[in-house]
Chain A
Amino acid sequence: MNFVKKYDIIIISFILMVSLVFWMTYKVFFADQSPKAEIYYYSELVKTVDLGQGIEKYFSIEENPNVVFHLFEDGSICFEESDCPHKLCIKAGKQYRPGQFAACLPNGIILKIVPGENSDRDVDIVIGN
């Protein structure tokens, strides 16, 4: 009894090759760029940070030096310090995936993660003053 025949192997390797091709295509065309973090001050984009730099640093925006952001080597970012009463922005923790966001409403600051390429797959948030 031949449980495995020649054509079985051909079929299986063909399917595996097709899936490999699909996967490579996807890798090359879509997943190349690392996400970015956008920081908004009262709904105005004031700073854009590339998350794929692989460096760790602390920074704040000119509009409000009391709020400190922390960029990590692994490509995540969070609110490190803030002078707001409840510290909800700090408690929101590390953000790294497109679509995630953290907000500091008393200071009117929004930190949101957007895809690296130009697309509209991100959250739309507005804070009035």
Chain B
Amino acid sequence: MDSLETFRLSENMNKIQILVFSGLLFAIALILSLVESLLPIMPIAVPGVKIGLSNIAVMYAIFFLGARQAYAIAILKALFVFITRGFIASTLSLSGGLLSITGMLLMLFLLKEKVSYLGISVVGAVSHNIGQFLVVSLIYVGVSMWAYLPVLLISGVIAGLLTATLLRILLPAFKRLI
């Protein structure tokens, strides 16, 4: 298994199987973000920095189902956040999620075999943070946010490395699921 195994599942699946599998991944994404909120607070006390465990489910959707399913999961997740945590949180979730998926798809499209899960996951996490950063700068007009960008970028790299490692560990379990 030298290269990325991508877009393999959806070719062998019929529509209903894809639908069910997307739904399952969406549920997994929600559960992962719930689990993440239960974890004790990280020692680094930087506000707004999370591991983004639910990115594991989104990444899996990109690799094995397709772009549309991944976008659907991100949008549904933003809707869920809207119901539970309100408008601002939902906008942040949506902007981060969409930019994250777009970034990862771009990486897959441009570099194809040359990157592994690691690079894609890091790009996903970082672009997630950039998406949220853009929206926050739109909401809080005039507040100088640029000092915070390096923090977000570096924490994005760390989060991306973490989720990629976790996905790598979880892949065999995912395979048994199917």
Contact = CB atoms under 8 A, between A and B. Distances in A.
Range, interface on chain B = 20 to 34
Contacts of A26: 146-147, 150
Contacts of A11: 107, 115, 119, 122-123
A15 B150 contact: no
Given A1-B2, A11-B122, A16 B147 contact: no
A2 interface: yes
Contacts of A12: 118-119, 122, 157, 161
Interface in A31-68: 31
Contact of A5 (B114, B126, B154): B114
B111 interface: yes
Contacts, number: 61
Contacts of B118: 3-5, 8, 12
Interface stretch (A17-25, A78-86, A87-95): A17-25
Contacts of B144: 30
Contacts of A4: 116, 118
Contacts of B147: 26, 30-31
A18 B156 CA distance: 13
Q: Count chain B CB atoms within 10 A of each CB in A4, A5, A8, A22 and give the residue with the most.
A: A8
Contact of A7 (B119, B153, B156, B161): B119
B122 A22 contact: no
Contact of B115 (A1, A8, A16, A18): A8
A19 B153 contact: yes
A5 B153 CA distance: 21
A23 B157 contact: no
B8 interface: no
Contacts of A16: 153-154, 157
Interface string B132-172: 00000000000010110111011011000100000010000
Contacts of B1: 1
Closest 5 CB pairs of A and B: A8-B119, A19-B153, A19-B150, A23-B150, A8-B118
15 contacts: A2-B116, A3-B168, A5-B118, A5-B119, A7-B114, A7-B119, A8-B116, A8-B118, A12-B122, A16-B157, A18-B153, A19-B151, A20-B150, A22-B146, A22-B153
Interface of A: 1-8, 11-12, 15-16, 18-20, 22-23, 26, 30-31
